[in-house]
Structure 1
């Protein structure tokens, strides 16, 4: 498989990490990272980082478990309403000091 925009985005949309992509393309991880810097805009890279899926309960060393990354949670409307009911936003009476 050739490392190009079409193949890279296809793998990323399927949930593959850069490490997985490097294995599929038969190149090193550093080669994939260098290719990204040369061929993708910073906006595209950010968008890919935000689209990573969070896997609840998973504690592996893959990118989707890295706690320093932003995780996107997809909820149905019912799940969202149940979450809000369980975790309501409450105002505080803190004084500025």
Structure 2
């Protein structure tokens, strides 16, 4: 299951985010989205977890968690409609 993590403080390292999700189970990938120009965090990330039950527990357990002073928002990522994905 692909999970969207939003409202991240821009100083949160990818390794810290990965560790948070690993507490709930197996993590296939953890990608902090970076600005191409500044190479700094854009404040959101995608996490992939293979097991739906673990992913749901992670979403429920981490949504609104205060991390580096900010309440993060965690939810299942929505697939982009095909016409939006092709235009990029």
Instruction: With the length of structure 1 as denominator, give the TM-score of the two structures.
Output: 0.27
Higher strand share: 2
Instruction: With the length of structure 2 as denominator, give the TM-score of the two structures.
Output: 0.29
Q: Larger C-alpha radius of gyration, 1 or 2?
A: 1
Higher helix share: 1
